[in-house]
Amino acid sequence: MSTSATPLPPAASAAPQPPRPVAGQRGMRSALEEALLPPLVALLIALVVGDILILTFGESPRQVYRLLIEGTWGNPYGLGQVLFKATTLIFTGLAVSLGLRAGLFNIGAESQLAAGGFAAAVAGLTLAAGTPAIIAIPLCILAAAAGGAAVGAIPGVLKARFGAHEVIVTIMLNFIVLAFLNWIVAARMAVPETLHTAEMRAGTVPRLADSMGAFHGSAANWTILVALAAAGLVWWYLERTRAGYELRAVGLQPDAAEYGGVRVGGVWIRAMMFAGALAGLGGINQVLGYKHYYEDAFTGGAGFLGIAVALVGRNHPLGVVLAALFFATLSQGGLAIHALVPKQMVEVLQGIVILAVATSVPEVRRLLRESAARGVR
Amino acid sequence: MTLPPASPAIARAIAAVGVVKHFGSVAANRGATLDVAPREIHALVGENGAGKSTLMRIVSGMFPPDAGTIHVNDRDVTGWTTDAAIAAGVGMVHQHFMLVPTLTVAENIVLGHEPSRRGVFDRARAVKDVEALTERTGLRVDANRRVSSLSVGEAQRVEILRTIFRGARILLLDEPTAVLSPPEIHDLWRILRRLRDDGATVVLITHKLDEVMDVSDMVTVMRQGETIVRTPTRDTTPAALARAMVGREVALAGATAVAVGAAPAAPIPFNPAGTTQNRAISRDATPLSGGVRAVSPSAPTLTVRDLVVPSARNVRAVDGVTFTAIGGEIFGIAGVEGNGQTELIEALAGLRRATSGSIHLGAHDITRDPVRTRVDHGLSHVPEDRHRRGLILEYSIADNLVLGAQHQYSRRGVMDRDRIAANATERVAAFDIRPPDASLPARALSGGNQQKIVIAREMKRNFSVLLAAQPTRGVDVGAIEQIHDRLRAARAEGKAIVLVSAELSEVMALSDRIAVMYGGRFVAVVTRAEATEEILGRYMTGAAGTAGGAT
């Protein structure tokens, strides 16, 4: 991204910079530009293509987009559904972006999410009925994190110990873990005639609708606060802690990190465990906040969509939250516009946004270049 | 050989006039001129950063000049593309090979111009074409071998073959000998002469004057982006070229610098009774056993015994090295690149496992310690490649200034931002890092200022032993002096310094004792007083070490 002359609003003060090590205005501005421009351009491209698609169906783009907004942000139920879908996506988006910051492509958020949901449900089933929420909920949340971390740790350890590429391992693990959970639920734990477990005895989280009636009918629940807290925590971890300093160093230049006394393999394991834990936490939205049981295949691709969320969010926790809201809006909006155009249209739009952003994100370009170079070496 | 007279009737193979090229605020070329006659081997020499590679890349079409003109074969080609350059017969052989290791030699050479039959790759014809080419040029490589199995010298031959296969009649070679062993260099010269005699034109970038004298017909000297001298090789001397390169009488300790092995070497003045290897060890063993030097027991030392270190290609890249560096001395390691220096330093720094032998830092056995433990025991390390190892280019100057010491700049796992900022302010000022804004990413700085970050970090830390690998590589003259001063000051404070440099002049200017590394071994260790360029040069090229003396 060249330093174009795009007239962004001038920074607050035009006074000469004090000679303190604070971010220079120019550095700040071009960093902002680099962070925001690709997603915005991608959005623009998607809108143009969307217009064309809508026109081929003989509908008016304006009409369709109005429906899309009305069906999502335009009414409390739609908004609640957007928040509900965004909650899971925040977790899986953070899981993918944390891996990317360490230079690892975590394709395994889907199975980490499932494992987290399963562990949360098992915890809720194991607890005695009537366990106070103040104990039960944190325990279930911890279980979700632990379940995801266990699945995430595997590719980390295999990479650190044997150099196994995390992309291959996480993809394979998706099949293994999902199949295992399918088997154990179907064979051992399912309520007869269903593919889900019994209801948890403790640890459920109330819905927003319970205190704000307007959200009635939507699945939105208070686990969204956990998601926002997780995003803040990830930011703090990456930018303020020594472990975060080392993790980012490994992601940018593993050789330099090694020179700086960082045990690169250890960082890989830690990063994948944390990523797994974050994805696993996504399970509480569905299990603690909505269904109150583990249902086979509840993930529905939210783990994979986490990749898109991380890319569009530029691997920044705040960006991930915004991107999660965006993709949740598209997903919910697809249902709202179904009357006029097939809801698959929003999937096409999603695909275009992902493609456009992915090709313009420096991290992705670097990863691609490096794995190409590795293949050649 | 006679030089073509500068008559207008004879085409100039390359005529670059008044070439200016800026990269950001750095002027790589400022009015550089290059004049190459057809059918000559033309050496382009200059210090690191003199603008040689930039000029060659402009000629080969990799980027256009900001000002000036380029003529090739008397045609104005200013600002052309690499494709156009290749079509016109200008080919560049890069310092870093650009080959596909999993393909065979023949496949690599025809890549991009694959012969095919009915749309299918015609392997047999590719092999035949390549074999015909190797026959014609004398560049012998088995066309069916995989590139991954080739030695560096063979890989380079493939690069040259590929360039010729694409029709190059003007070959630009960027520091082709940096990774070659002396016999391979010898082969290369033979090949280049043969190419010239067949009508090709060769431009050879180098900063080694013995190579210039060996092989070139004409020589152009560049300094700080400008052309200083153009002269027939036979009319000049290494000393004169060195003077032109540096811009002053080379007043560094080694008066004639760089002129290694240019003149036929005099007989080696010392002739150890045993092998030179024995001599190296016995000389080194002395301080160990407590004689000769008056070493206070508290003086920091780095003691290395029988160290064997593998590399990817060679299980004994370091092949049994023993030495001691004592506080208050600079222990220089000279040698042609690729003779185990990199592996040795990485093993000392904890970045590469030794297969046998031991490393002691003072009384601590650090042979198996991780990097951080070594740092805490007082080891500092200026790595040879600042872009790969020494800096995290996206990190701010301030963050880079604590790399390796991040555990000392954090409290309960949280980075101590105030101390990091204070540290940055102090070091940016002390080492004159420019621009003096510690929030800028290291990427935004010039090479010299980037190196200052590394030096500032490693030399301000509380250390007893410093490993300095190529500390002035790619750094401008002013910064070189500053870095040398810092090294001398550290010596005066009683630190032990191990200096590795590809520049013999640098090793000679700074070191108290000098080891010559060849083939993974120390083939000689001499005091500064005993060392001359001639002696070291002969050991460096393996001419002396193996036979225990001169021819």
Which amino acid is it at A293?
Answer: Y
CB pairs under 8 A between A and B: 91
Name A128's Cβ contacts closer than 8 Å, sequence gap at least 6. Answer: A201, A202
Are the beta carbons of B225 and B51 closer than 8 angstroms? Answer: yes
CB atoms B425 and A241 under 8 Å: no
β-strand pairing of B170-174 with B521-527: unpaired
pLDDT at B286: 34
> H/E element holding B45?
strand B41-45
Question: To probe the interface with B, which of A2, A233, A242 has the most B CB atoms within 10 Å?
Answer: A242
Residue of A nearest to B458 (CA): A260
pLDDT score, position B544: 63
Among A13-22, A51-60, A64-73, B102-111, where is mean pLDDT lowest?
Answer: A13-22
Q: In this structure, what token pair is assigned to residue A189?
A: 């734990």
Contact list, B406 vs chain A (CB under 8 Å): 242, 245-246, 260-261
Q: Give the per-residue pLDDT at A363.
A: 63
The answer to whether B468 and B386 have CB atoms below 8 angstroms apart is no
* Closest residue by Cα to residue B535 from B290, B265, B320: B265
Q: Tell me, what DSSP letter sits at residue B230?
A: E
Query: CA B523 to CA B542: how far, in whole Å?
Result: 8
Instruction: Pick from B385, B400, B439, B453 the residue to mutate for testing the A interface (most A CBs within 10 Å).
Output: B439
What is the per-residue pLDDT for A148? Answer: 97
pLDDT over 50 (residue A2): no
Contact A261, A111 (CB under 8 A): no
Mutate to test the interface with A, among B146, B375, B437 (most CBs of A within 10 A): B437
The pLDDT assigned to B244 comes to 83
3-state secondary structure of B402: coil
Express each pLDDT in A249-272 by its tens digit. Answer: 999 999 999 999 999 999 999 999
Task: Write down the H helix ranges in B138-267.
Answer: 152-165, 182-197, 209-215, 238-246
User: Chain A within 8 Å of B363 (Cβ-Cβ)?
Assistant: no
Within an 8 Å CB–CB cutoff, is residue B415 touching chain A? yes
Token pair for residue B189?
A: 């010269």
pLDDT at A337: 87
Does the structure show a pLDDT above 90 at A359?
no
Is B372's CB within 8 Å of A261's CB? yes
- Residues B139/B157, Cβ–Cβ less than 8 Å: yes
Query: Residue A236 has what pLDDT?
Result: 97
Q: Tokens 């045609």 — which residue?
A: B75
Which among B381, B388, B436 has CB closest to A19? Answer: B436
ipTM: 0.83
**Could B440 and A27 be called an inter-chain contact, meaning their C-beta atoms sit closer than 8 Å?**
yes
With 0-12 / 13-18 / 19 or more C-beta atoms within 10 angstroms meaning exposed / middle / buried, residue A14 is exposed
Query: Which chain A residue is nearest to residue B395, measuring alpha carbons?
Result: A249
Tell me the HSE value of A138 on the side-chain side, using a 13 A CA sphere: 3
Side-chain half-sphere of A206: how many Cα atoms within 13 Å?
10
Here the tokens at position A121 are 């449900």
Q: Collect all residues with Cβ–Cβ distance below 8 Å to A211 and sequence separation of at least 6.
A: none
Calculate how close chain B gets to A9, using CA atoms only, in Å. 21
Q: Is B439 close to A263, i.e. CB distance below 8 A?
A: no
Question: How far apart are the C-alpha atoms of B164 and B173, rounded to whole Å?
Answer: 12
Q: Is B440 on the interface with A (CB under 8 A)?
A: yes
Judged by CB atoms closer than 8 Å, whether chains meet at B389 and A376 is answered as no
Block residue for tokens 């429906």: A67
Q: What is the pLDDT of residues A202-248, one digit of tens each?
A: 999 999 989 888 888 899 999 999 999 999 999 999 999 999 999 99
Residues B192 and B204 sit within 8 Å (Cβ to Cβ): yes
Q: Which of A20-29, A127-136, B227-236 has the least mean pLDDT?
A: A20-29
pLDDT of amino acid B6:
44
Contact at CB, A255 and B389, closer than 8 angstroms: yes
The model scores a pTM over 0.80: no
Q: What is the mean pLDDT of residues A19-32?
A: 50
Partners of A259 on chain B (C-beta within 8 Å) are 349, 351, 371, 381, 383, 389-390, 403-404
Residues 6+ apart with CB under 8 A from B316: B308, B309, B310, B520
Helices (H), A102-194: 109-126, 133-162, 166-184
Does the N-terminal peptide bond of residue A7 adopt cis geometry, omega within 30 degrees of 0? no
Instruction: Give me Rg for the CA atoms of chain A.
Output: 22
Higher pLDDT, B9 or A277: A277
Tell me the chain A residues in contact with residue B440 when contact means C-beta distances shorter than 8 Å: 24, 27
Q: In what order do the strands lie in the sheet with B301-309?
A: B318-326, B301-309, B356-361, B364-365
What distance in Å separates residue B483's CA from the closest CA in chain A?
21
- Does A20 sit within 8 Å of B424, measured CB to CB? no
Does B390 contact A at CB distance below 8 Å? yes
Alpha helices in B388-446 (DSSP H): 397-400, 417-430
Query: Contact, A92 vs A302, CB < 8 A?
Result: yes
Residues of chain B with Cβ-Cβ distance to A17 below 8 Å are: 437
Count Cβ atoms below 10 Å from residue B117 Cβ, excluding itself. 9
Q: Name the residue of chain A whose CA is nearest to B350's CA.
A: A259
Q: Residue A259: closest CA among chain B residues belongs to which residue?
A: B389
| Signed CA dihedral, B372, B374, B379, B385: sign only | negative
Residue of A nearest to B386 (CA): A256
Q: What tens digit of pLDDT does each residue of A32-43 get? A: 777 777 778 888
Q: How many CA atoms lie within 13 A of A222 on its CB side?
A: 10
Task: Chain A: give the shortest CA distance to residue B247, in Å.
Answer: 35
Residues 6+ apart with CB under 8 A from B240: none
Which chain A residues contact residue B388 at CB under 8 A?
253, 255-256
Give B-chain residues touching A24 at CB under 8 angstroms. 437, 439-440
With H, G, I as helix, E, B as strand and everything else as coil, classify residue B35: strand
Q: Specify whether the CB–CB gap between B516 and B541 falls below 8 A.
A: no
**CA dist list (Å): B109 to A18, B158, B166, B366, B497:** 57, 7, 9, 47, 45
A24/B437 touch (CB, cutoff 8 Å), yes or no: yes
Beta-bridge partners for B226:
B223
Q: How many residues does chain A have?
A: 377
Predicted confidence at residue B255, as pLDDT, reads 31
CB B472, CB B386: distance < 8 Å: no
CA distance A163 to chain B (A): 16
Residue B499 and residue B510 in contact, taking contact as beta carbons nearer than 8 Å: yes
Round to whole Å and give the CA distance between B221 and B233.
11
Q: Which of residues 249-288 of A touch B (CB under 8 A)?
A: 249, 252-253, 255-261, 263
Tell me if B299 sits within 8 A of B320, measured CB to CB: no
Residue B463's pLDDT is 92
A376 contacts in chain B (CB < 8 Å)? 100-102
The answer to whether A241 and A234 have CB atoms below 8 angstroms apart is: no
Contact B536, B263 (CB under 8 A): no
CB contact under 8 A, B403 and A27: no
| Identity of the amino acid at A237 | Y
Q: Coil, strand or helix: which one is B472?
A: coil
Is A374 within 8 Å of chain B by CB? no
Contact A256 B390 (CB under 8 A): yes
C-beta atoms of A21 and B415 within 8 A: no
10-residue stretch averages of pLDDT, chain B, 551 residues long:
45 91 81 93 84 89 92 91 90 81 90 84 90 84 86 81 89 81 78 90 85 91 89 88 70 34 34 36 34 51 94 86 94 87 95 95 93 94 91 95 94 95 95 89 86 93 93 78 92 94 87 92 92 81 51 34
Residue A62: how many other CB atoms lie within 10 Å: 10
Q: Supply the DSSP symbol for B412.
A: T
pLDDT tens column, A158-184: 999 999 999 999 999 999 999 999 999
Tell me the pLDDT of chain A averaged across its residues: 87
Which residue(s) pair with B231 in the sheet? B219
Please answer yes or no on whether B392 and A263 come within 8 Å at the CB atom.
no
Nearest to B171 by CA among B253, B102, B88: B88
Beta bridge partners of B29: B21
DSSP B168: -
- In terms of pLDDT, which residue wins out, B539 or A273? A273
Return the sign of the alpha-carbon dihedral for residues A18, A23, A26, A28. Answer: negative
**Cα atoms in the 13 Å half-sphere on the side-chain side of A298:** 30
Q: Which chain B positions have a beta carbon within 8 Å of A257's beta carbon?
A: 392
Contacts of A241 in chain B (CB under 8 A): 410, 413-415
Q: Which residues pair with B319 in a beta bridge?
A: B308
Alpha-carbon distance B406 to nearest alpha carbon in chain A (angstroms): 7
Token pair of B470 as six digits: 């190529």
Report whether B45 contacts B209 (CB < 8 A): yes
Closest Cα to residue B522, out of B285, B267, B185, B354? B285
| pLDDT of amino acid B243 | 79
Quick one: how many helices (H) and strands (E) in chain A? Answer: 15, 0
Contacts of B293 (CB under 8 A, 6+ apart): B286, B287, B326
